[in-house]
Amino acid sequence: MPHATLPRSPGIDALRGASILLVVIHHLGLRLPLHKTDAALWLPVPVLKGLIYSGYEAVFVFFVVSGFLIARHTLERDRTLGDIDWRGFYARRVARIGPCLVALVAILLACHALAVPEYTIDASRQSPFGATLSAFTFTLNVYEGRTGWLPGGWDVLWSLSVEEVFYLAFPLVCLTLGRTRWLVPALLVLVLSVPFTRAAIVDNEIWQEKAYLPGMGAIAAGVLAALVVDSSRGGAWLSRAPARHALRIAGVAGLMLVMFSGGWLWRAIHDGYMLVLIAAAVCLVLASPEGATAWRGMGWLRAMGRASYEIYLTHMFVVFSLVGLARATGTDKAWGWIWYPPAIAATFALGWIVARRFSEPANRYVREWVRARGNAVAPQG
């Protein structure tokens, strides 16, 4: 029998929307740097740099939110992590992730075959087969670490590799450690290991950015946040408005510190800045209860959050197209800033269309197919 689903959290949706917004700005900013445009006449350069160079950190916020939502939905369906329905869990992951991933890889392979600029894989280092195999086995981050950067449309799949390897192991961990007192300590160790696992990689810039363990530490932090919300003591504490306000202030302050520190935070604590980022994301997640009243004027950001997976997978098509137009029209220098609003609008529109017309129907179809064969899969999640 299907379980009732958790009410939506406007705060969580907005946090996901802000994260995907920063990712889009980052990938556009690498090609049309805001601080080198006339935007620097109106806003301080450190602010502009903070906006365009925070995409990697935004992905880690995604990781925290992802771990929180997956664990919350598991607790809501199965009551405890130790009683997780692993068949249903895997079926939901395939239904949610699989259709868009298959479609994206097919389109990228077609672009490579047609030698479309910005989509052609460097045959001297990589191959379409290698990229495809790594995408479907969630080892694209490993493949890039060994062979170098893939074209941007492929490169975004590194974070999916980190997430899905975590979720492949998640039910197994829940069914073993989740039935003991060792689950929370194990998750804490994974979270606290983030600065050390990043610092331990010194000879491979790509692998340092995209290694499994740091990203998994952020996901683990989200799982811990879900356990706090689920506990009677944590739930009671978080139901108090002063506690949520304090968490919200701490979370925003932490994110602003990471984004706009101008490098001094890194110089002070090096890879420890990732713990500041993860802690800030956890604060904002805990401060966003389900069913809360939505803030006015933020509907567009919440909508971006709800389509964040589809926007993330497809946004490079928009980025490459608009950057090409900017360079063809000579507006990629001083006037480069004018391309940011249309880029945000177009990535949102494309992601929303993909979600509504393809991803969500495919998700429902796969779930219905699984249920028709006797496996109980909740209709949403």
- By C-alpha distance, which of 286, 263, 267, 217 is closest to 59? 217
Which pLDDT score, from 0 to 100, does residue 3 have?
A: 40
pLDDT reading at 162 higher than 50: yes
Which pLDDT score, from 0 to 100, does residue 341 have?
A: 98
Q: What is the mean pLDDT of residues 252-279?
A: 95
Which pLDDT score, from 0 to 100, does residue 380 have?
A: 45
Answer with the residue of higher pLDDT: 377 or 298.
298
- Kindly list the domain boundaries of the chain, sorted by start residue: 10-371
Q: CB neighbours of 299 closer than 8 A, spacing ≥ 6?
A: none
Confidence of residue 370 (pLDDT cuts 50, 70, 90): confident
The dihedral built from the CA positions of residue 278, 279, 282 and 288, taken in this order, carries a sign that is negative
Which pLDDT score, from 0 to 100, does residue 263 have?
A: 86
Q: Of 4-18, 166-180, 223-237, which one has max mean pLDDT?
A: 166-180
Q: What is the mean pLDDT of residues 9-15?
A: 91
The CB density around residue 338, as the number of other CB atoms within 10 Å, is 15
Confidence of residue 291 (pLDDT cuts 50, 70, 90): low
pLDDT reading at 369 higher than 80: yes
Rounded distance, CA 210 to CA 126, Å? 18
Q: What is the mean pLDDT of residues 87-110?
A: 96
Rounded distance, CA 86 to CA 96, Å? 15
Confidence of residue 297 (pLDDT cuts 50, 70, 90): confident
Q: CB under 8 Å, gap of 24 or more: what pairs does 211-216 form?
A: 211/141, 211/145, 212/141, 212/161, 212/162, 212/165, 212/166, 214/60, 214/274, 215/59, 215/60, 215/63, 215/159, 215/162, 215/163, 215/166, 216/63, 216/162, 216/165, 216/166, 216/190
Which pLDDT score, from 0 to 100, does residue 206 have?
A: 96
Kindly state the tokens that stand for 219.
């996901």
Which pLDDT score, from 0 to 100, does residue 9 have?
A: 85
Indicate the residue type of 38: D
Which pLDDT score, from 0 to 100, does residue 381 have?
A: 43
Exposed, middle or buried, 236 (CB in 10 Å: 0-12/13-18/19+)? exposed
pLDDT reading at 4 higher than 50: no
Which pLDDT score, from 0 to 100, does residue 308 have?
A: 97
